[in-house]
């Protein structure tokens, strides 16, 4: 694979006394959606948090867009072009939707054309533009969380379970927005438990177990091989 946007080599991360990532080797190609899959508790969220810098890797290296970011603090990684949507959405609930979006545009004022694109993807955000984000429904908060990452052009988006707990109609909206983002040329590393979404969006996939990547390849290959799914994750796509 030539010129990946992100490359993790032998990354180990500890959280308190727990050794969570135990030598993660991961390559995220430039452009397209890479699915990060695996059972609960295998280290997917820790991998994303290590990439954005919320947790520092104990050893190993992280290269983003050709540069070593292993020791960079979180704000520097974000300014380098990494957007992050955490599992808990990270919404500033006492701020309005508008204020959340203004903050998301860290390098200057919100671009109107980009905002129109976001409103087209997530119409409720226009409806509740001046409302406190804490009063939004779960689905609307998730829309805001992703919209915030979309407020500025990023080279890589780290998105952690964006469809968790959402109704099918909202999941469809999310998937549409992510596909739109991908079509604009962005690279996305997506943690997702919903296999229908993973299958629909993923170009490549990496499967984790016990803090390591145990398989990496084309998403279509994984989706089409029930035995491989069973071996890697203990389940099959048909189950979903």
Partner 1 sequence: MTNAAPDHAPKYAQLSLPDRIGKAMPLLLVPILVVLGFLSIGSPSSWLTLTVSGLAMGMMIFIMASGLTLVFGLMDVINFGHGAFISVGAYVGISVLLGLESWTGVPSLLLNVAAVLAAVIAAMCVTGALGWGFERVIVRPVYGAHLKQILVTVGGLIVIEQMIHVLWGPDEIYLTRPETLKGAVTFAGAAIEKYRLLAVVFGLALFVAMRLVLKRTKIGLIVRAGVQNGEMVEALGYRLRLVFIGVFIAGSALAGLGGVMWGLYQEVITAGMGEEMMILVFIVVIIGGLGSVEGAFIGALLVGLLQNYVAFLEPKLALISNIALMTAILMWRPQGMMPVVKAK
Residue 44 binds partner 1, judged by CB under 8 A: no
The Cα–Cα gap between 15 and 77 comes to 20
Say if CB 164 and CB 132 are below 8 A apart.
no
Q: Which of 74, 155, 193, 236 binds partner 1 (CB under 8 A)?
A: 74
For position 32 contacting partner 1 by CB under 8 A, the verdict is no
Kindly write down the DSSP assignment for every residue of 1-48, as one continuous string: --S-SEEEEEEEEEETTEEEEEEEEEEE-SSEEEEEE-STTSSHHHHH
- Provide φ and ψ at 124, rounded to 5°: -60, -25
Of 2 and 130, the one with the shorter C-beta distance to partner 1 is 130
- Site residues (CB under 8 A) for partner 1, limited to 75-104: 75, 78-79, 84, 86, 90, 92-95, 99, 102-104
Residue 33 in the binding site for partner 1 (CB under 8 A): no
114 binds partner 1 (CB under 8 A): no
| Residue 45 C-beta: closest distance to partner 1, Å | 13
Complete DSSP assignment for 68-113: E-TT--HHHHHHHTEEEE-TTTT--TTSBHHHHHHHH-TTSSPPHH
Contact residues toward partner 1 (CB under 8 A) are: 52-54, 73-75, 78-79, 84, 86, 90, 92-95, 99, 102-104, 106-107, 121-124, 127-128, 131, 135, 137, 139-140, 148, 167, 169-170, 172-173, 175-177, 179-180, 197, 200
């Amino acid at each position: 694979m030539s010129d990946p946007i992100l490359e993790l080599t032998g990354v180990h991360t500890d959280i308190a006394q727990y050794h969570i990532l135990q030598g993660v080797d991961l390559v995220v190609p430039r452009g397209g959606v890479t699915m990060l899959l695996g059972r609960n508790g295998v280290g997917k969220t820790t991998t994303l948090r290590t990439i954005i810098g919320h947790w520092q890797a104990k050893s190993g290296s992280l290269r983003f867009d050709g540069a070593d970011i292993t020791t960079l603090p979180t704000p520097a990684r974000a300014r380098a072009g990494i957007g992050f949507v955490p599992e808990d959405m990270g919404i500033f609930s006492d701020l309005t939707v508008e204020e959340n979006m203004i903050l998301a545009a860290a390098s200057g004022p919100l671009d109107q054309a980009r905002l129109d694109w976001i409103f087209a993807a997530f119409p409720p955000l226009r409806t509740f533009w001046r409302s406190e984000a804490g009063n939004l429904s779960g689905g609307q908060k998730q829309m805001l969380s992703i919209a915030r990452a979309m407020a500025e052009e990023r080279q890589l988006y780290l998105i952690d379970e964006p469809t968790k707990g959402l109704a099918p109609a909202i999941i469809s909206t999310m998937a549409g927005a992510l596909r739109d983002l991908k079509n604009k040329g962005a690279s996305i590393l997506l943690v997702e438990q919903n296999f229908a979404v993973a299958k629909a969006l993923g170009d490549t996939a990496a499967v984790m177990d016990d803090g390591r990547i145990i398989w990496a390849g084309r998403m279509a290959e994984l989706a089409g091989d029930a035995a491989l799914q069973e071996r890697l994750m203990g389940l099959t796509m048909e189950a979903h």
